[in-house]
Amino acid sequence: MTADRSAAGDRAVSRFVLVALVLPVILTLASVIVQLVLIPHMPDPIAIHWGAGGHPNGFGPVWVSPVLTILFGLLLPVLIAVTVHPGLRRGHRGAAFRFLGALALALAVLAAVLMTWTFAMQAGLDAAVQAPPVTVPLLVSFAAAAVAGVIGWFVQPHQEQSGAPTLPSTPVSLARGERAVWMQTTTASRPAVIAITAVMVAVAALTIWLAFTAEPAAAWITGVVTLVLIAAAATTLVFHLRVDGTGLTVISAIGIPRFHVPLGEVVSARATTVTPMADFGGWGIRYLPGRFGVVLRTGPAIEVSRRSGRIFVVTAPDAETGAGLLQALVERAAVARG
């Protein structure tokens, strides 16, 4: 039985890598090769954008299409693969992994078919403005992506929903009436901080550029987006954690938002590991039916089961000690109640 389960686990990992990474790489490279072969037959510039009526209204150099194919065909699939794969290796299982693998393949197919088709249909034209409407390529590309996603789902084996094994919690012995406090600070990973900062700088630069190019309405929109990004970063990149006789408290570095799980609502606490993309669909403050989390990075986390049946999760350094203390407080309270 153990050998069968291990083989099934290995198959889940290898099939995910095949669907989410290997096939997207092959498809994207094939698409780029086809485009490179066609470059001598292309008008310059080429059409790279079509308007609402399906006719070209934006143009660029011929190298733009292969570059965009690589970006759209590989960037998101690789991001999905590298963020989800560690969770699979640690033993996480469930439909989310199959879905994300299938999504990566679907995105790669969408980019490969759409970019190659719209590029190839301009071969031999005297000018890109003569390019035919993009309606049919769009419809076929989305249909192909949907089919690829379904195939990617079924190529991967079914796995029962499960998380990573419980981390060994640090035992905490509390005498009657003894007080104890555990405090930590959890922060977003460095790559996440860099990515968020880069996005904010880019949007702010776009706002300034639009403000000086007679586009005030667009500048106001991007300005508001910049402020929203700054507010989101300030409130969700750093949280302070505290476990004491009142329960578990999680507070943003600026004071809001604030989350508190009273000790009386805690059924049990354990240390576990979290893969944000696979377990919660992303980073930050996340909600799924029955689960709520403050997940800032991949790694150790405190998982609290509440009397309502819901689960609260927060990523934390030294989660083993925090979970151990919270569990000890719960058990002592149970003994006190008789």
Mean pLDDT of the chain: 82
Alpha-carbon gap, residue 300 to 285, rounded angstroms: 16
User: Out of 65-74, 78-87, 190-199, which region has the weakest mean confidence (pLDDT)?
Assistant: 190-199
The helix (H) or strand (E) run that includes residue 244 is strand 238-244
Q: Binning pLDDT at 50, 70 and 90, where does residue 164 land?
A: low
pLDDT digits 0-9 by tens, 23-58: 999 999 999 999 999 999 989 888 887 776 777 877
Following CA atoms 255, 305, 263, 187 in sequence, which dihedral angle do they give, to the nearest 10 degrees? -30
Domain boundaries, the chain: 2-155, 172-187+237-338, 189-236
pLDDT digits 0-9 by tens, 234-250: 777 889 999 998 999 99
- Residue 186's DSSP bridge partners are 239
pLDDT of amino acid 27: 94
pLDDT digits 0-9 by tens, 292-303: 999 888 889 999
> What does DSSP say about strands 291-295 and 311-315: parallel, antiparallel, or unpaired?
parallel
* CB burial of residue 105 (10 Å; 0-12, 13-18, 19+): buried
| Sign of the CA dihedral running 321, 326, 329, 330 | negative
Q: Binning pLDDT at 50, 70 and 90, where does residue 220 land?
A: confident
| pTM of the entire predicted model | 0.63
Q: Binning pLDDT at 50, 70 and 90, where does residue 171 land?
A: low
Looking at per-residue pLDDT, the higher value among 123 and 172 belongs to 123
**Across residues 86-115, what is the average pLDDT?**
83
Alpha-carbon gap, residue 118 to 289, rounded angstroms: 41
Q: Binning pLDDT at 50, 70 and 90, where does residue 144 land?
A: very high
**Across residues 325-330, what is the average pLDDT?**
89
Question: Coil, strand or helix: which one is 10?
Answer: helix
Q: Binning pLDDT at 50, 70 and 90, where does residue 1 land?
A: very low
The C-alpha R_g of the chain, in whole angstroms, comes to 25
Q: What is the CATH number of domain 172-187+237-338?
A: 2.30.29.30
pLDDT digits 0-9 by tens, 253-286: 888 889 999 998 999 999 988 877 767 777 788 8
Is the pLDDT score of 224 beyond 50? yes
Is the pLDDT score of 10 beyond 70? yes
* CB burial of residue 248 (10 Å; 0-12, 13-18, 19+): buried
Looking at per-residue pLDDT, the higher value among 131 and 229 belongs to 131
- Per the CB < 8 A criterion, the answer to whether 296 and 279 are in contact is no
Alpha-carbon gap, residue 141 to 227, rounded angstroms: 36
Is the pLDDT score of 213 beyond 70? no
* Structure-token match 């990474």, residue found: 21
* Alpha helix segments (H runs only) across the chain: 2-17, 23-38, 64-70, 76-90, 95-120, 135-155, 190-211, 216-236, 276-280, 319-336
User: Out of 110-124, 155-169, 260-274, which region has the weakest mean confidence (pLDDT)?
Assistant: 155-169
Is the pLDDT score of 215 beyond 60? no
Q: What length does the chain have?
A: 338
pLDDT of amino acid 4: 46
* Structure-token match 């790559």, residue found: 191
Q: Which of 311, 331, 300 is nearest to 167 (CA)?
A: 300
